[in-house]
Amino acid sequence: MKKIFLALFILTSINTFAQKPCEIESSFTDSLGTYKSLKQKLVFERNFAGNSTRIFFSLSTNNGVLSLDTEILQRSNDFIKANCLDPKSKIYLQLANGKIVTLLLSSNETCGTLIRSDDGANNRITSASFLFSKENFEDLKTSRVTFMRIQFAGETIDFPFKTSLVSEMDNKTYEPEKYFIEDLKCFEN
């Protein structure tokens, strides 16, 4: 009987500490090169007084250049102010070890797209790609992200990260602080 409990304990422990598999969204090679991207994951969600903001991350590599694809979804019954991204826009990631990692906008200037849904709500979708700078990049593989600051064209907005986030959108549990620790390994060869 003790051997059965010991075997169950070992199997449970192995399963608990096993790495999560990479969730590939798309991967292909053609005459222009190689492209690979991971499935989007929710890293920030705020719902307050009928307004919601959700931020999704997806890592991708295009011919060996790693980028962070970011999508900001805002929803409100009122008009949603545009927060534009321009060539000077950046994302700053505050790590648990005290270091800051800066990501630079690589996509075109954008103010997002405003869409009115069937229920009369306004939705703004802002998508952009950011490139990693070389300094402190290795720290993302080992240190949790505790805070994110996005520098838009006209203002800077802060987004605190949570250790665990149960989304009101899909009731799934996400771990925003560990996003880079878990997903950067998908691009190591």
pLDDT at 5: 42
Please give the Cα distance from 57 to 120 (Å, whole number).
27
Look up the CATH architecture of domain 42-187.
Answer: Sandwich (2.60)
Tell me the domain boundaries of the chain: 42-187
What was the pLDDT predicted at 18? 46
pLDDT score for 20: 65
Answer whether 0.75 is exceeded by the pTM: yes
Cα-atom radius of gyration of the chain, to the nearest Å?
19
pLDDT at 8: 43
pLDDT tens by residue, the chain, 189 residues: 554 444 444 444 444 344 567 888 887 788 888 889 999 999 999 999 889 999 999 999 998 889 999 999 999 999 999 999 999 999 999 999 999 999 999 988 999 999 999 998 999 999 999 998 777 778 999 999 999 999 999 899 999 999 999 999 899 999 999 999 999 999 876
Q: How far is 95 from 184, CA to CA, in rounded Å?
A: 15
